[in-house]
Structure 1
Amino acid sequence: MNTDPRPSEHASPCDAAADWFVRLHSGTVSKADLRLFEQWRQADPEHDRQYRNVCRISGAAQHLSAQALRAILKQDAHPATPQQHRRLSRRAFGLGLVGACSSVLVMGVLHRQGLFDEPLETYHLQTRRGEHQELALPDGSILRANTDTLAIARLYEGRRTVELRRGEVFFSVARSTRSPFIIDAGSTEITVTGTRFNVSRTDSAVQVAVESGSVEVSGGRWWNRRTRRLAAGQAVTAYHDAAPEGIRTVDVTNIAAWQRGDIIFDDTPLALALEELNRYLPHPVHLDDTALRSHRISGIVRSGKPEAMLEMLPDFAPVSVHRQADGQIRILPR
């Protein structure tokens, strides 16, 4: 077995780029490997170009565990067949991945992991500002969407997935040990078998809170990806491209307070509170001062009157609210 972290000097730039991609995501890369990678990448503009092309499929790494990626490095026991590779190439073309040269081995493993499977059924869940909507899946799972939300549910053979692009959804997931339920929220992934929980995705963070059962929340870049296991009455926040923060205890009755018309902030960073509020307001609120982003606030406001929070904000935060002629609102330090 070849344990040298460098691709063969005879490898083509595209195959070398694919090899580096797998090695850097395997969880075993060292500082010396990173130095070698940078030397290889800077040695020829074509190396950098091919690596960036391969990174166009970098979302695939989120669907593979470090163990699976290490297995790619150790063996070539089940290479993709020519028929599989041709089929995959056609799909890659359709996804705009032409030019991303990857070895047959890497792409074959991704194919066997089910990354390129076609969903059996697809459902869209979308709400405009002020709307709520419910989606019942054939397996008995129910998704309830809050205002300004976009989610896409896909049912595959052996797994159920939901891509939460923005907004907030309360999930009541039908239990199935043979078909895990996976929520893709950007760099954060939530995995369950059967439970009730709430997921909110704003521009900067994903927040997960569990009403009953348990969920796993994974997030962060490949070199610092972590998983938090939440039980009922627990919640976690994961900022974009960052590992989930520490688990905190929450009031179960308030996890989906939006369903009864309440917006609740409980020791919430001001930046996250304003991002949440923006989903209800007709004009966006901007927070320009970075020092204020982590200032924590608590309060309750009716979802039908989100402006009330802005009126109260100067009472419990060192800020002033400035309304501009175009309707936009700026929060400035006092």
Structure 2
Amino acid sequence: MNPANDDQHGLTGREAVEATAAVWLSLRDRGMTAAETEAFVRWLQESPEHAAVFEELQQTWRDFDQLATLLRPGAAPDPDTLAPRRRRRFARLPLVSLAAAAGLALLALGIWEWRGPQHFAETPVGAFQKIDLPDGSVAQLNTDSAIDVDMRGNERRVRIVRGEIDFAVRKDRAHPFIVSAGRVEVRAVGTAFNVRARDARVEVLVSEGLVQVCDAVKRQPLLPPAAGTGEPAYLAVGDRAVISAPPPAAAEPVAVQVQRVSGEQLRRALAWQERRLEFDDTPLGEVVAEFNRYNRVKLVVTDAQLAARPFSGTFRTDGYEALVALLQHSFGVTVVRQGDAIQLAPR
């Protein structure tokens, strides 16, 4: 099933194609998996219009990048930047073969860059950044994260390119605050929530107020209506939504699991904002994965029993050496160092 061709959600054919193309652009900028790449090529092959819409939308973002140069102090105006351009009309485009559409896919994957390498805000591995957004909201970027921001019109939009970001949203009912991560949209007015995007999975954790999670392609809420009222359902304080969001053309539906977390669990989940990692009976394999997010030196656990062993403790995000020393001297773990990797094995 291709969600872009589903006409049951109030979208015209053109609107559905544009919505799907926008999600593909977001996924491509984040970096596609092999399965997503295959699905993307199939989507382009379905219709010449798909490739044309994708190209036009990407060109629009290129134009925005050029216009951004006009805002830099001392920038020399370029008359070509504001020169009128002939708008493409798909009805006049010559029909192209499926092979040509596949060729456009390869160009998109290998050559084109959506909005270029620069983003509104970006952190490398091990770094953090707290920034004020143009609307007065605040975003805190965790390690290896990037966002783009668009505050034009009646909506305040932030696109997560990769990583994890915590938002404190300034209240403005006339201008909804919308965070997109691949196929998932999180909508709020004035609230605080954390979003982590990784591959085809998005996690949303609410620490203040209410938020709504939606499918960006189908333009509909992901949570069923509230029982008895039929009103839209929201995530509240202490709710964590784990969303499996396959690529737009995939047959698998978007799946959502909502969990309630305690105040202590909420505090631990957000401890990264204070440069800490806190674990409570967490499998060692997950502990290692968290440390690897923040450090160039990678910890490796190949033994399944050791990886499943529960572990508790509090560390600095860059404190992998303290973890290794504790495991070696108190848990009887063998440590082997090889370049930028540290292998952990049972004795």
Return the TM-score normalized by structure 2. 0.54
Q: For the structure 1 residues 129 and 329, does the alpha-carbon distance in structure 2 shift closer, same or farther, using more than 3 Å as the test?
A: same
Question: Can you list the C-alpha shifts for 1:38-85, whole angstroms capped at 9, x where unaligned?
Answer: xxxxxxxx9993359738979xxxxxxxxxxxxxxxxxxxxxxxxxxx
Q: For the structure 1 residues 157 and 291, does the alpha-carbon distance in structure 2 shift closer, same or farther, using more than 3 Å as the test?
A: farther
Choose which of 298, 311, 319 in structure 2 pairs with 1:284: 298
Alignment of 1:121-136 (within 5 A): 124-136=120-132
**Alpha-carbon distance in structure 1 between the residues aligned to 2:166 and 2:222:** 23
Partner SS, residue 167 of structure 1: strand
Specify every segment of 5 or more residues in structure 2 that has no aligned partner in the other structure, as ranges.
11-41, 55-85, 102-114, 224-232, 247-253
**Alpha-carbon distance in structure 2 between the residues aligned to 1:216 and 1:188:** 10
Contact 1:155/1:161 (8 A) holds in 2: yes
**Alpha-carbon distance in structure 2 between the residues aligned to 1:168 and 1:124:** 15
CA RMSD of the aligned region, Å?
4.7
Partner SS, residue 179 of structure 1: coil
Contact 1:310/1:321 (8 A) holds in 2: no
Choose which of 235, 238, 241 in structure 1 pairs with 2:243: 238
Q: Which moved more, 1:256-265 or 1:150-159?
A: 256-265
Choose which of 282, 301, 326 in structure 1 pairs with 2:339: 326
Q: For the structure 1 residues 52 and 289, does the alpha-carbon distance in structure 2 shift closer, same or farther, using more than 3 Å as the test?
A: farther
Partner SS, residue 300 of structure 1: strand
Q: For the structure 1 residues 221 and 247, does the alpha-carbon distance in structure 2 shift closer, same or farther, using more than 3 Å as the test?
A: farther
Q: For the structure 1 residues 147 and 48, does the alpha-carbon distance in structure 2 shift closer, same or farther, using more than 3 Å as the test?
A: closer
Question: Can you list the C-alpha shifts for 1:256-298, whole angstroms capped at 9, x where unaligned?
Answer: 2122221124565666544432221222345667899888765
The structural deviation recorded for 1:249 is: 1.3
Contact 1:124/1:150 (8 A) holds in 2: yes
Question: Can you list the C-alpha shifts for 1:121-176, whole angstroms capped at 9, x where unaligned?
Answer: x9611122332222212221111112222111221311112121222222110112
Question: Can you list the C-alpha shifts for 1:209-263, whole angstroms capped at 9, x where unaligned?
Answer: 22111112346997x9833732112223234535232322132444421222211
Q: For the structure 1 residues 126 and 298, does the alpha-carbon distance in structure 2 shift closer, same or farther, using more than 3 Å as the test?
A: same
Contact 2:184/2:215 (8 A) holds in 1: yes
RCO comparison, higher one (Cα < 8 Å, 6+): 2
Q: Does 1:192 align with 2:193?
A: no
Return the TM-score normalized by structure 1. 0.56
Contact 2:183/2:245 (8 A) holds in 1: yes
Choose which of 189, 202, 206 in structure 2 pairs with 1:206: 202
Which residue pairs with 1:50 in the alignment?
46
Which residue pairs with 1:260 in the alignment?
274
Q: For the structure 1 residues 237 and 55, does the alpha-carbon distance in structure 2 shift closer, same or farther, using more than 3 Å as the test?
A: farther
Choose which of 220, 244, 247 in structure 1 pairs with 2:259: 247
Q: For the structure 1 residues 141 and 221, does the alpha-carbon distance in structure 2 shift closer, same or farther, using more than 3 Å as the test?
A: closer
Q: Paired residues, what number?
A: 245
**Alpha-carbon distance in structure 2 between the residues aligned to 1:218 and 1:237:** 13
Which residue pairs with 1:303 in the alignment?
317
Alignment of 1:30-69 (within 5 A): 49-51=45-47, 54=50
- Which amino acid in the other structure matches residue 239 of structure 2? Q
**Alpha-carbon distance in structure 1 between the residues aligned to 2:156 and 2:314:** 34
Specify every segment of 5 or more residues in structure 1 that has no aligned partner in the other structure, as ranges.
1-19, 29-45, 59-85, 101-118
Q: For the structure 1 residues 173 and 236, does the alpha-carbon distance in structure 2 shift closer, same or farther, using more than 3 Å as the test?
A: same
**Alpha-carbon distance in structure 1 between the residues aligned to 2:7 and 2:302:** 36
Contact 2:126/2:144 (8 A) holds in 1: yes
